[in-house]
Structure 1
């Protein structure tokens, strides 16, 4: 794949969503060009100015310099998707394997796969991952279960993940169920979005779920989640917005305070933060995927 330089695009847009507060347009937008045909979905950024993207086509992991725009595939995929991504302090990349039913851990320094895990042998969609103080947690959009992978040292990753069934308020239905995942502000539980219903749930580490009261609102097509303090950001992919929600201290209630869009959005999925910006890959689900289809990632000021 050829290397491309970083493109800076200034965009202004204002959109109004039916039943939602007016979306606020970002004043400046950074657009990172990704390889044609790559089909990005996941993104992770660590302490260094590099964004890592997973391909839902073949699972390749691409590193892009946020300053230089330099691109390099650090590891070839297993032929199945790489979706949700997170980086720990040891710069290990935890990868959700989508329809492959798997997960793996990659050393971002050399691209070496440190460990691979088979999470499901039946039809599944391992969609996203979050890192808590002691574990990586993976969602499955097909089956009502979370997978807990305890965090070890670089040479001490566990042999297998722990299966944690989801019980309580979250009931799986037809479509894409549990998707994005984050910690609660107090770190005592998890937050999971159910994409097909637009509902948010607080999920205990034992798997028991309770719906978060949004005052009658929803986040339909909710995908990636990002928590900053008591503020939760939800990427609503096909609506091309980031919805900002103020949570109470227990993450039992939330208030939708704003929605942000940008004309550079083209079905953004997941979200990562670096400096004073959010970065989101454009998955372009509504555009036919071909080897020549163009793809980008978008950086906007944090709303």
Structure 2
């Protein structure tokens, strides 16, 4: 960053000199977004989502805290204080300004006001700590779907007219069949496809499955033999799928076919800036990824960050 700023100083000085001898003034260049944003030490992040403008939210899988920051300035603060036993994995922001969280070992999901941090709703899918792990979610027009990394199901919270939140018990459990029903594959990231099907990462088997949200029936996506082992977060834009592979320290960029039944890996993003990346989100031409650092023991002094990579 210091090197980049030093390169910018030269044209700025030259522009100022020219202006003093009657030449038109040169506009100041726009300050680039930071390539790295530090999170609070010991935060232990897992989920990340980008909201309105350049606002970003990050959830803690340690104590359920949510940090809100600005991708333009790199500054932020804790919006939702952490509470032991409320660990959060994935989180997403809906069009109504509500932040949905997958309450990892708590067996449920919570909904918050993204501006104030006030809790708006909670859905308790099960009461099986140590057996069920609610990991990630996707928000569609009619429902919110949650993956369970230990059980072969999806949890479905239907949305009412205008996105109205349903009653706390108005959810259903969607039993999965086909390859999505295979035990011990560890379902993780999830996105919606253009035809309404859902695409889910199977982290331990290194595969992707597409699931019919009405029936739970599934089929494997053909990646030409490429393994997405340790696939954590999924990000989809058009037909480009970003598979964020945590302990592999790889982001696989996959070009999907028109039917989203197969894909070809176009490139892999690697480098020392990736430190067990958990998930990410897109803003313009950049992919922002949160480093979970799952390969080290989290302590109050362990550093965590968000990084920006070209999309």
TM range (shorter): 0.7 to 0.9
Distance 2:3 2:62 in 1: 27
CA contact (8 A) 1:9 1:31 kept: no
CA contact (8 A) 1:41 1:53 kept: yes
SS in 1 for 2:164: coil
**Partner of residue 212, structure 1:** 221
Gaps of 5+ in 1: 1-6, 11-27
**Partner of residue 127, structure 2:** 121
- CA drift at 1:117: 1.1
CA contact (8 A) 1:119 1:147 kept: yes
Distance 1:209 1:147 in 2: 15
CA contact (8 A) 2:142 2:163 kept: no
Which segment drifts farther, 199-208 or 66-75? 66-75
**Partner of residue 58, structure 2:** 53
- CA drift at 1:178: 0.6
Higher relative contact order (CA 8 A, sep 6+): 1
- Residues 267, 295 of structure 1: CA spacing in aligned structure 2 closer, same or farther, 3 A cutoff? same
Which segment drifts farther, 62-71 or 225-234? 62-71
Structure-to-structure mapping, 1:192-271, within 5 angstroms: 192-205=200-213, 206-271=215-280
SS in 2 for 1:238: coil
1:90-117, CA deviations, whole angstroms, 9 ceiling, x for partnerless residues?
1211100111111011111111111011
**Partner of residue 132, structure 1:** 140
**Partner of residue 65, structure 1:** 70
**Partner of residue 179, structure 1:** 188
Q: Which runs of 4+ in 1 moved over 6 A?
A: 7-10
Q: What TM-score does the superposition give when structure 2 sets the normalisation length?
A: 0.84
- CA drift at 1:77: 3.9
Distance 1:194 1:155 in 2: 29
Q: Which has the larger radius of gyration?
A: 2
SS in 1 for 2:74: coil
CA contact (8 A) 2:90 2:135 kept: yes
Q: What TM-score does the superposition give when structure 1 sets the normalisation length?
A: 0.86
**What's the C-alpha RMSD, in Å, of the aligned pairs?**
2.0
**Candidates 76, 85, 89, aligned match of 2:81:** 76
Gaps of 5+ in 2: 5-32
- CA drift at 1:155: 8.8
**Candidates 143, 156, 181, aligned match of 1:148:** 156
SS in 2 for 1:169: helix
**Partner of residue 103, structure 1:** 109
Structure 1 or 2: more helix by fraction: 2
